[in-house]
């Protein structure tokens, strides 16, 4: 899930579409001015996650200093890491020992974070209230939870599954108790969820078309997750891995591959909506060689996409892929990578000049040369 993704974007639609359409030119290095050496660099510096973190699935930030990363440990339990200095250093935090996996994380505030996953054969939610993580498990019928998004501490929506079908669950008390809500479209597996406000939510993922195969899918809810309906998408769409909305502008990202198991070398894919998710279009030329896994857009002119950059053709080799625009898409940059040897799965940007990203057992601090927003002319405007 994404941090820093909510804000008044409706008036910035033109800049947004320009930004995402230019994305495919980044890796080719042909965007106008994108290779100018006098531009401030986008710099990504990685470090090993504190033991026992082995595979980070999701990152989220409450503010520019406080961020968390969740995933799996090197053993059979989940892992959580935290930073209190914007990603400069990280420390391991205790996780309830029965939690076996954490797949998604959303922080509505510094003392209000929820992470979801599994505890043995049951769905699990762990909640951070400011000091420790506590386990909540009143999710009847759920074998696991795959995604969560909180618009506030009192409004969080998660996706649960029993392995055959998926549905949403809602909480209004910071994860202490959950109510089962609407089913997602038949056969849909959700990998990400976002709510652009407490009512309008979207889940992204895929619908299985055969053994190990699927087609990208998005489901929408106009009542905060109580009911869901399939959204019509253009073809062909590969597996979708992340989605974000700001105002009426939405973007989903993933891969052109239709493989639902394993990790297959393929180009990335972006689809966008300019009308609040009612209709979608594939954005050419998509993301050549950058298999997208996470998106964060902390400002109207700033967007970061992370994933895996496949190098070579005969036997493509994976490496980290980070691309960013800080001027509404007029220019794009590949980040200068230091100590980032693995593909990345998630990114969160609490402010326009700073992001954290993660993948494998590596946590990454991304510095952007974006100018901060101009101060308002008067308090409260």
How would you class 319 by CB atoms within 10 Å of its CB: exposed for 0-12, middle for 13-18, buried for 19 or more? Answer: middle
For residue 283, what pLDDT is reported?
78
3-class secondary-structure state, position 10:
helix
Half-sphere exposure for 264 (CA within 13 Å, toward CB): 14
The CA–CA distances, whole Å, from 119 to 49, 75, 238 equal 22, 14, 30
Give the dihedral sign, CA 260/265/267/268: positive
Q: Are strands 201-210 and 229-230 parallel, antiparallel or unpaired?
A: unpaired
For residue 8, what pLDDT is reported?
38
For residue 215, what pLDDT is reported?
96
Strand partners, 148: 158
Series of mean pLDDT values for 10-residue runs along the chain (381 residues): 40 40 36 46 95 96 97 95 97 95 95 94 91 86 95 94 95 90 96 93 95 95 96 93 85 89 81 90 67 86 86 81 76 86 94 95 93 46 29
Do 334 and 327 contact (CB within 8 A), yes or no? no
Q: How many CB atoms lie within 10 A of CB 4?
A: 24
For residue 371, what pLDDT is reported?
65
């Amino acid at each position: 899930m994404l941090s820093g993704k909510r804000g008044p974007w409706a008036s910035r639609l033109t800049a947004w579409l320009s930004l995402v359409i230019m994305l495919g030119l980044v890796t080719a290095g042909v965007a106008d001015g994108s290779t100018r050496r006098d531009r401030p660099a986008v710099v990504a510096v990685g470090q090993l996650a504190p033991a026992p973190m082995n595979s980070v699935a999701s990152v989220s930030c409450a503010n520019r200093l406080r961020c968390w990363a969740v995933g799996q440990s090197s053993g059979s339990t989940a892992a959580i890491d935290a930073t209190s200095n914007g990603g400069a250093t990280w420390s391991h935090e205790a996780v309830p020992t029965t939690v076996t996996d954490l797949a998604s994380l959303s922080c509505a505030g510094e003392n209000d974070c929820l992470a979801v996953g599994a505890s043995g054969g049951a769905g699990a939610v762990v909640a951070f209230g400011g000091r420790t993580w506590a386990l909540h498990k009143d999710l009847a019928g759920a074998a696991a939870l795959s995604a969560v998004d909180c618009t506030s501490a009192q409004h969080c929506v998660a996706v649960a599954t029993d392995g055959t079908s998926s549905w949403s669950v809602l909480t209004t008390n910071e994860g202490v108790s959950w109510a089962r809500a609407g089913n997602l479209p038949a056969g849909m597996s959700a990998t990400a969820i976002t709510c652009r406000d407490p009512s309008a939510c979207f889940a992204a993922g895929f619908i299985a078309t055969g053994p190990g195969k699927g087609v990208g899918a998005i489901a929408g809810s106009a009542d905060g997750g109580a009911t869901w309906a399939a959204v019509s998408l253009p073809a062909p769409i590969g597996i979708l891995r992340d989605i974000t909305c700001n105002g009426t502008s939405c973007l989903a990202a993933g891969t052109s591959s239709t493989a639902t198991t394993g990790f297959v070398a393929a180009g990335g894919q972006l689809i966008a909506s300019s009308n609040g998710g009612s209709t979608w279009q594939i954005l050419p030329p998509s993301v050549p060689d950058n298999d997208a896994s996470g998106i964060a857009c902390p400002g109207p002119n700033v967007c970061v996409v992370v994933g895996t950059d496949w190098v070579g053709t005969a036997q493509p080799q994976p490496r980290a892929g980070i691309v960013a625009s800080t001027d509404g898409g007029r220019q794009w940059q590949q980040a200068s990578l230091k100590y980032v040897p693995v593909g990345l799965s998630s990114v969160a940007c609490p402010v326009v000049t700073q992001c954290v990203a993660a993948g494998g057992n590596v946590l990454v601090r991304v510095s952007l040369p974006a100018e901060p927003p101009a101060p308002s002319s008067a308090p409260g405007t």
